Amino acid sequence: MLSVKNLSISFDTDEGRITPVRDVSFFVPQGKTLGIVGESGSGKSVSTKALMRLLPGNAKLSPESEILYRTKTGHELAIHSLKPSSRELGRLRGGEIGMIFQEPMASFSPVYSVGNQMMEAIRLHRGVGKGEARAIALDMLNRVGISNAAHRIDQYSHEMSGGMRQRAMIALALSAGPALLIADEPTTALDVTIQAQVLELMRELQQDLGMSMIFITHDLGVIAQIADEVAVMYLGTIVERGATRDVLRAPKHPYTQGLLKAIPSINTLQQRLNPVPGDIPSPSERPSGCPFHTRCPDAIAGVCDRKPPREIAVSQTSAVRCWLHDQDARNAA
């Protein structure tokens, strides 16, 4: 469906060149959900923006980066080499890949009704007339559980509640019928109860429509509910990936272990929380060697701070980038 290989992204800034995403590879299977977890600044949003070529002008993909996508009609599309104003890219955005964002309020233009923006996308990608587009939009609003859709369709986003707005945002992203949905922290700005409803809705829609999904979050709890596979990112690199069940049950990377320990649970109410110590360094001050060694409780002096670790398969489904699991190379060094 979608495969990303050796993706590296750098930005030219006034302070010099920074590379917030380094050598990232992942694969989204048909009809499945890939969860990407990481703290803010880990490069998870930047990498998904690259999938739709939404990065600003000062961003550059490295020459070995590869983003391959199979369209609904079965064509192979090399997204990394599409021209910025090409028709393929226009069709891809919205028509093949849909995107929803963390801030539903800011994602809608305040001067057009929700229906106006939905019908624009529908007419762009489905080639239908005004009346039909409105019917499709209404159907979509009904599907995401917006009551009284016939009235809501002509409302502005600022006239809706937070949960409803996020539902409308999902309807908008799905209205053009994408085969892959990228959700960039769609539930972070919502109340916990509404968060659960929205997650439930997204899972249902995914099954009904047979979509693939990339779900970005910093919350491992959300990943457990929605993702089939998970990739854990730290400072622009995927440090561990695999089937959600395996990774969450037996995390191999000290960072994943730290994240799991930091989740409060009923059983540990009496204990203090265990946050991962320290702060994530800024991309311009990236540590040498393994980027996590400055915060890692198990760091091996003279190894982890020298050379970045390579990716090691630890089971059929999962892989990790950590010197602790790379006995051979450590001995060779």
How many helices and strands in the chain, by DSSP H and E? Answer: 12, 13
Q: Which of 10, 117, 212, 294 touches another protein by CB under 8 A?
A: 117
Is 91 a residue that touches another protein (CB under 8 A)? yes
Q: Which stretch binds another protein (CB under 8 A): 75-83, 115-123, 193-201, 218-226?
A: 115-123
Angle, helices 162-174/130-143, rounded to nearest 10 degrees: 130
Q: Closest CB to another protein among 102 and 237? A: 102
> Binder to another protein among 21, 67, 92, 247 (CB under 8 A)?
92
- Report 218-277 residues binding another protein (CB under 8 A): none
Report the distance separating Cα 188 and Cα 191, nearest Å: 8
Among 103, 132, 219, 246, contact with another protein (rule: CB under 8 A): 103
Nearer to another protein, 56 or 63 (CB): 56
CB 212 within 8 A of CB 30: yes
CA-nearest of 103, 97, 101 to 51 is: 97
Q: Which is nearer to another protein, 170 or 247 (CB)?
A: 170
Residue 124 sits in the site that holds another protein (CB under 8 A): yes
What's the CA gap between 242 and 233, in Å, rounded? 12
Closest to another protein by CB, 44 vs 252, is 44
By CB under 8 A, is residue 108 in contact with another protein?
Answer: yes
Q: What x-and-dash track marks residues 167-196 binding another protein by CB under 8 A? A: -----xx--x--------------------
Q: Tell me the three state secondary structure of residue 252.
A: coil
The verdict on 156 binding another protein (CB under 8 A) reads yes
Least separation in angstroms between CB 300 and another protein: 16
Residues near another protein (CB under 8 A), total: 33
CA–CA dist 319, 93 (Å, integer): 31
CB of 110 to another protein, least distance (A): 5
Q: Which of 63, 74, 110, 210 binds another protein (CB under 8 A)?
A: 110
Task: By CB under 8 A, tell whether 94 contacts another protein.
Answer: yes
CA distance 18 to 8: 11
Place of tokens 């007419």: 123
Q: Which of 73, 83, 127, 158 binds another protein (CB under 8 A)?
A: 158
Residues in the chain, total: 333
Cite the DSSP H helix spans in the chain: 44-51, 87-91, 104-107, 114-126, 130-143, 149-152, 162-174, 192-209, 220-226, 244-249, 254-261, 327-332
Output 158 or 272, the one with its CB closest to another protein. Answer: 158
85 binding another protein? (CB under 8 A): yes
Residues between 296 and 325 that touch another protein (CB under 8 A)? 305
Cβ distance 224 to 244 under 8 Å? Answer: yes
Q: Which of 4, 99, 190, 214 binds another protein (CB under 8 A)?
A: 99
Nearest approach in angstroms of CB 117 to another protein is 8
Q: DSSP states of 15-66 as a string?
A: TEEEEEEEEEEEEE-TT-EEEEE--TTSSHHHHHHHHTT---TTEEE-TT-E
User: What is d(CA 50, CA 320) in angstroms, rounded to the nearest whole number?
Assistant: 23
- From the list 261, 252, 272, the residue with the least C-alpha distance to 322 is 252
List of residues contacting another protein (CB under 8 A):
14, 52, 54, 85, 90-95, 98-99, 101, 103, 106-112, 117, 120-121, 124-125, 156, 158, 172-173, 176, 288, 305
